[in-house]
Structure 1
């Protein structure tokens, strides 16, 4: 059976690429499974104290943490378009001045939007003295889709997103590079029913099988084409 070189090479290239992409998706799924196992482990670990010494995000994200300090309501930011149970609202993000120096951003919880006036913030309380905050360290205070800078312009209390580094420059505060997603209750009426982090492992496995299916289809097509070419040559 005579095999045409160029079509055979194209099929082999398609198979090599799709098989490699399948393995890449499998590896991503395994990484996410390992991360999920670590998150479950962190849930039962003692809360780590947060102080003035900067802690890299990679070494603290998803860990339980504890911080003691005083809220700075003059620097509050309300993250817009954060629905809760199909009701529009905001996340209340506020710096905490840590006892002993340094600052950390705290996502205090969810607040419903005033349906009559978008810029009118519903009442909630903020402790005036020292408070002990417990929560989960996260890389950010949640990210919502926006075009360009969108509604995240500096010095605006209502924004779409907040970048920790940019906010540190804006306020002059020496912030930790992560955000505490508060889980402890301090009687402020804010909702802290946080969504559970999803790793999307099933999606990765789905893509893995799709890529490998494409490789199998390419092989099948190549064999079919070779068989037809052989019949024509007889």
Structure 2
């Protein structure tokens, strides 16, 4: 028969504190997963929404929203940037970006033209003159770990290549300020570029948050199990003396 030893007050306190902490961390991870699920839904809804004039959201885009905008301007066609980072390794190619000048505006809008297989040397020339564009006004891709400093400043030939996209460095390289977000162009079957602008969670998609939540809840269960094991004792077995 199993009996329980009376636990010390400090062991009860530590156990309760540890369980409360692990449960709280698990709930927090579930909340983060739900938040990112809502971002995915809003992102999907924005892709089919009617465009709004770019000027309405240009300088101060709504937080956690991805407006689809219409914008008018002309390309700086000789200033192309190629993003070549691990996200593209599986397909072997680059994401192509070009600045757009808006009439009477000193700021430039960096436009994501889409993914281009290969090293990016077979890009068609951008059209001259003014163009009308539609797309999602999105935060720039995550910078991550910047190894080696500003890669753009050390390059003298165009297009310029980098493994991350830093709008501050691009603005410095162009000598003009940039808008705080980029324009991800709508899909176009006739374009050479592949435009699949899935929402980028970097290394923390919703599923990973749920996995971490399960891990924290498991720790809470383990703490309780350890507490019970350490505070049980067995009665000695009776022996018959004959």
TM-score range, shorter chain: 0.7 to 0.9
Structure 1: distance between partners of 2:79 and 2:53 = 23
Structure 2: distance between partners of 1:88 and 1:210 = 35
Match of 1:138 in 2: 138
Unaligned runs of 5+ in 1: 115-119
Among 181, 194, 197, which residue is 1:194 paired with? 197
Q: What are the Cα deviations for residues 138-187 of structure 1, in whole angstroms up to 9, with x where unaligned? A: 211x3476552467342631111221133223322232100111125496
Among 21, 28, 36, which residue is 1:24 paired with? 28
Determine whether 1:5 maps to 2:9.
Answer: yes
Instruction: Give the TM-score taking structure 1 as reference length.
Output: 0.80
1:1-234 alignment, distance < 5 Å: 1-51=5-55, 54-59=58-63, 61-81=65-85, 86-101=90-105, 102-114=107-119, 121-140=121-140, 142-143=141-142, 148-149=147-148, 152-154=151-153, 156=155, 157-185=160-188, 189-195=192-198, 197=200, 200-228=205-233
Distance 1:97 1:128, change over 3 A: same
More helix per residue: 1
Distance 1:18 1:83, change over 3 A: closer
After the TM superposition, which of the residue ranges 19-28 and 81-90 deviates more from structure 2?
81-90
Match of 2:240 in 1: none
Instruction: Give the TM-score taking structure 2 as reference length.
Output: 0.78
After the TM superposition, which of the residue ranges 209-218 and 178-187 deviates more from structure 2?
178-187
CA contact (8 A) 2:143 2:166 kept: no
Distance 1:121 1:146, change over 3 A: farther
Distance 1:88 1:210, change over 3 A: same
SS at the partner of 1:31? helix
CA contact (8 A) 1:82 1:90 kept: no
SS at the partner of 1:74? coil
Structure 1: distance between partners of 2:38 and 2:64 = 16
Unaligned runs of 5+ in 2: 237-242
Offset at residue 60 of structure 1 (A): 7.4
Match of 1:117 in 2: none
After the TM superposition, which of the residue ranges 197-206 and 13-22 deviates more from structure 2?
197-206
CA contact (8 A) 1:91 1:111 kept: yes
Structure 2: distance between partners of 1:44 and 1:187 = 19
Alignment RMSD? 3.0
